[in-house]
Amino acid sequence: MKSIKLFVIAIALILAFSVNLVMAQETFDSTAAEEEGYWYSRYNLGNLVMRSGMGETFMPDMQMMMMVMKMVDADFDPMQKGMYGDGDHPMPPANASLLQSVYKSGLPYYVQKVDVDDFGTQKWNPASFDQTLTGLANGYTIIKEVEWAKQFHVDEHFGLPTDNFGAQWRFVGSALVMEAKMQVMRFHDNMEKYDLSGGGDYVMLWAISDLGNALEQSHLLYSRSNRYKDLEASAMILMAADTLFDNDKGYRLAHH
């Protein structure tokens, strides 16, 4: 009798699990897939370009960082700490590893105990890095940085500098643009060190053009302004795109 009761309970649990599984599958629609993609895209990019150390790193100029924070937050005051003004202010992450170039590959394994508030503890295992510089790795990274920077500039979602929300993510958007600029200039000055095979030349052309275009717009999509606007940098970057296009066209004509 006891065994029959246990059997009935087991069947009931299996049926309940099956019903829950079906319901979960039915609720995973295109909207859920879009939201999942949104968050995983943010996680992957942030870990690569601000934590991993998988590339050549650089230290940003602190005076420039202060200017950026004032640009994204109207009442930012570097002399203040804690709660002041509207209470929403950007905070640079501790020990971030910003990249001026991206290595070909690496394994996302941590080498020390992780402190979520200290980006320096979230570096990947450097022994796993393939330090080859490729157009594919750098180009796709730049494209993703630029496109996410545009997302963090959407007024209704991440606010204006005068709003009391979104300051940190507006700051992250500016940091992504700063990294993309560094990566394009690093590529332009050391083009011979990059493997542009497998379509890497086209991906880099796409990336450089995307950044140059974003920097010259008077306002970005879904925004009333463009905090990233930098006409001098845009002209230099679009010139780099022309140089890459001419070099690539000459190479292909010579080999066909």
pLDDT in tens, 196-236: 999 999 999 999 999 999 999 999 999 999 999 999 999 99
The reply to whether 242 falls in a domain is yes
Q: Considering the domain boundaries, does residue 145 fall inside one?
A: yes
In residues, how long is the chain?
256
18 in a domain, yes or no?
no
**In terms of residue numbers, what domain contains 229?**
28-254
200 occurs within a structural domain: yes
Question: Rounded mean pLDDT of 87-116?
Answer: 96
If one counts the domains in the chain, the total is: 1
Residue 136 pLDDT exceeds 50:
yes
Kindly state the average pLDDT of the residues 131-150.
98
- Decide if 219 is inside a domain: yes
* 68 found inside a domain: yes
Q: Does 123 fall in a domain?
A: yes
In a domain, 87, yes or no: yes
Residue 256: its pLDDT value, please?
A: 47
Orientation of helix 167-189 relative to helix 135-151, angle to 10°: 150
For the cut 50, the answer to whether the pLDDT of residue 49 exceeds it is yes
Task: Give pLDDT, residue 22.
Answer: 45
3-state per-residue secondary structure call for the chain: CHHHHHHHHHHHHHHHHHHHHHHHHHHCCHHHHHHHHHHHHHHHHHHHHHHHCCEEEECCCHHHHHHHHHHHCCCCCCCCCCCCCCCCCCCCCECCCEEEEEEEECCCCECCCCECCEHHHHCECHHHCEEEEEHHHHHHHHHHHHHHHHHCCCHHHHCCCCCCCCHHHHHHHHHHHHHHHHHHHHHHHCHHHEECCCCHHHHHHHHHHHHHHHHHCCCCCCCCCCCCCCHHHHHHHHHHHHHHHHHHHHHHHHCC
The answer to whether the beta carbons of residues 90 and 76 sit under 8 Å apart is yes
How many angstroms separate the CA atoms of 116 and 16, rounded?
Answer: 37
Longest dimension (CA), the chain: 86
